Structure 1
Amino acid sequence: MLNIEKYAAIDIGSNAIRLLIMTVTEYGNNPPHFKKTSLVRVPIRLGADVFLDGKISERNYLRMVDAMTAFRLLMKNHSVVRFRACATSAMREASNGAEIVKKIKEETDIAIELIDGSVEAELIASTDLQDLIDSEKTFLYVDVGGGSTEFTIFSNGHTVTSKSFQLGTVRILNDMVRESMWAEVEQWIKVNTHKYEKVSLIGSGGNINSIYTSSGKKLGKPLSYFFLSDYYEKLKSYTYHERIYELQMNADRADVIIPATRIYLSAMKWSRAKNIYVPKIGLADGIIKTMYNEKLKQN
């Protein structure tokens, strides 16, 4: 028996807001297939508001209403059966975050959950990495966002530990990350990876996806530490305007990509990882996988 349904996840981050629509196909007793049907990204940088002023501006609130209205219509046209909207670092730290959530529910009928860093890490960890990587190895999963970075250690196919740190690209751009935070992250990574002989990184987030695409690597093949280090130096050699024009980057990517690359390189150095895999999955994928698993439990 063939069953096809569409699920959607809305990821309200500090640098952008995304809508991921995924088609889930069930066929008899076979494992389900998850296929990305549509991904829409809107560059509403909430972190620039919240990390500097403590609240979401009226302008960005109105942009969020427009985005959620459009997302609602897209989900309707795709006949989405289940969806979930989650907001991360910027929204949960905004003094008017709860008020914005209430107003958006009234305006668009989309209920937004303000999730903390531990829930964010759990959702990311729920993604099915076994289809993409060798589950017999040890990996440090690094999901870099605008407001925070989530670190998860996988070994022999199981989650060992995870932690969220307020180390995000928008915070770094606005000089809001102290050296003590970098030291705290370094200590956590070293303590939790030292017992493993060999660790590889898994990179998640729009910035590492952009780097991976530009590398020309075939999906599944990792980037080396040396490649990423050379690319980092290349990025820094260009001005912001040159990165937009010469490297053809989006304006809201051309600035955050440098601090993001620094985070990945630092994580590789501290975990002694020589390679970073980029399976192009993240929070939105985890949200959808979690919804599907909840459906199975109900049936």
Structure 2
Amino acid sequence: MLEIHKLGAIDIGSNAVRLLVSTVTKPEHKPTNFKKTSLVRIPIRLGADVFINGKISDENYARMLEAMQTYKHLINLHKVTKFRACATSAMRDASNGEELKNEVFQKTGIDIEIINGKDEAAIIAATDLHSLINDDSTYLYVDVGGGSTELTVFSKGKTISSKSFKIGTVRLLNNLVTETDWNEFKQWIQSRLSGFTKVNLIGSGGNINNIFKNSGKKAGKPLSYFYLSSYYQLLNSLTYEERISELQLNEDRADVIIPATKIYLTAMKYSKAKSVYVPKIGLVDGIIKSIYNENKKS
């Protein structure tokens, strides 16, 4: 007998708010399949408020609320049986984060979980990542967001260590990442990977997905450090307008892609990784998987 469920995931990030609707099919005596039915992304950039002024502005809250109302309609139209909404760096740093979370619940029925960096890294690690990595290899998984970057070390198929850093694309755009932040980032990578001779990077996030798409590489093939470094130089050589017109980047992508690439290159440098794999998974995928795993337990 074939079981079919629709699950929903909302990621309220520092740069954008996403909704993923996934169709989960479970054929009898066969592996469960997760298919992305719908993915909607709205660039609200909550982090631009929070990281500078400490709170979410009325204007961006109004946009976020409208996005949540729209997502609730879509969840109902898709007949989603269960969904989960998680907010990350911007809302957990906002002085009015809890207040707005309660207002959203009252007006939409969506109960937002404001998760910490450790939970965020754990949810991301719960994706299908383990099916993509070799059991005899070591990987540094780097998920770059607007407000934070989550690092996870995998070796021989197991999670060794993970940590969230307040180094994100929106923070970098606003010069809010200190030398101390970078030193902690570098030292953590070096200390956790000490003794491992060969490390590959796994990159996730909208920016690295965009770079991979433009590279023309086939799915499953990695990007080299040389390619990423050359692309970084190209990005820096173009104006914001040229990145939109010549590279066909969205307006909200054309600025954050530069600091994002810097983060990936820094992680590659200090892990001594020569290539980065881009499996196109992120927090929303992890949220879907967490709902599915919770349903299995119950």
| TM-score strictly above 0.5 | yes
Structure 2 residue matching 1:252: 3-state secondary structure = coil
- Alignment match, 1:199: 199
Q: Is the contact made by 2:6 and 2:23 (CA closer than 8 Å) also made in structure 1?
A: yes
User: Once the 2 structures are TM-superposed, how far is the Cα of residue 157 of structure 1 from its aligned partner?
Assistant: 1.1
Q: Quote the Cα distance in structure 1 between the aligned partners of 2:133 and 2:192.
A: 20
Q: Determine if contact 2:244/2:251 at 8 Å carries over to the other structure.
A: yes
- Distance in 2, matches of 1:191 and 1:15, equals 30
1:98 aligns with 2:108: no
Q: Distance in 1 between matches of 2:255 and 2:135?
A: 34
Separation in 2, partners of 1:46, 1:272: 33
- AA paired with 1:230? S
Cα distance in 1, alignment partners of residues 142 and 114 from structure 2: 21
The alpha-carbon deviation at position 270 of structure 1 amounts to 0.3
Question: Which residue in the other structure is 1:132 paired with?
Answer: 132
2:11 aligned with 1:30, yes or no? no
2:111 is matched by which residue type in structure 1? A
**Partners in 1 of 2:93 and 2:242 — Cα distance?**
33
The AA in structure 1 aligned to 2:6 is K
Cα offset, 1:133, TM superposition: 3.0
Secondary structure of 2:81's counterpart equals strand
Gaps of 5+ in 1: none
Q: Equivalent residue for 2:223?
A: 223
Query: What is the Cα-based RMSD across aligned positions, in Å?
Result: 0.7
Q: Unaligned regions of 5+ residues in structure 2, if any?
A: none
Residues 199 and 271 in structure 2, CA contact (< 8 A), matched pair in contact too: yes
Distance in 1 between residues matched to 2:194 and 2:268, nearest whole Å:
13
> 1:136, CA displacement in angstroms?
2.5
Amino acid at match of 2:297: K
Residues 227-286 of structure 1: CA deviation (Å, up to 9, x unaligned): 000000000000111111111111110000000000000000100100100000011111
SS at structure 1 position matched to 2:163: strand
Return the alpha-carbon distance in structure 2 between the equivalents of residues 292 and 23 of structure 1: 11
8 Å CA contact 2:68, 2:110 repeated in 1 = yes
Distance (Å, rounded) in 2 between the aligned partners of 1:230 and 1:240? 18
CA contact (8 A) 2:133 2:157 kept: no
* Equivalent-residue separation in structure 2 for 1:225 and 1:84 (angstroms): 36
Which string of whole-angstrom CA distances, capped at 9 and with x for unpartnered residues, describes residues 125-173 of structure 1?
Answer: 1112133232331110000000000000011111110000000110010
- Report what 1:84 is aligned to: 84
Q: Deviations over 1:95-152 (max 9, x none)?
A: 0000000000111110100000000000011112133232331110000000000000
Q: 2:249, 2:264 → 1: CA distance?
A: 19
Is 1:286 the counterpart of 2:249 in the alignment? no
Equivalent position amino acid for 2:224 in 1: S
Matched residues in 2 for 1:132 and 1:219: separation? 12
* Structure 2 contact 14–88 (Cα < 8 Å) conserved: yes
**Structure 1 match to 2:157:** 157
Partner of 1:183: 183
- How far residue 84 of structure 1 moved from its aligned partner, in angstroms, is 0.3
Q: Deviations along 1:164-216, whole A, 9 cap, x unmatched?
A: 00001100100001111111100000011121111000000000000000001
Other structure's SS at 1:226 match = helix
Are the equivalent residues in 1 in contact too, given 2:51–2:171 (CA < 8 A)? Answer: yes
* Partners of 1:60 and 1:220 in 2: CA distance: 37
**Superposed displacement of residue 29, structure 1:** 2.1
Q: Render the CA deviation track for 1:75-97: whole Å, top value 9, x for unaligned.
A: 11111011000000000110000
TM-score (norm 2): 0.99
Task: State the one-letter code of the partner of 1:165.
Answer: F
Instruction: State the shift of 1:296 in Å.
Output: 0.6
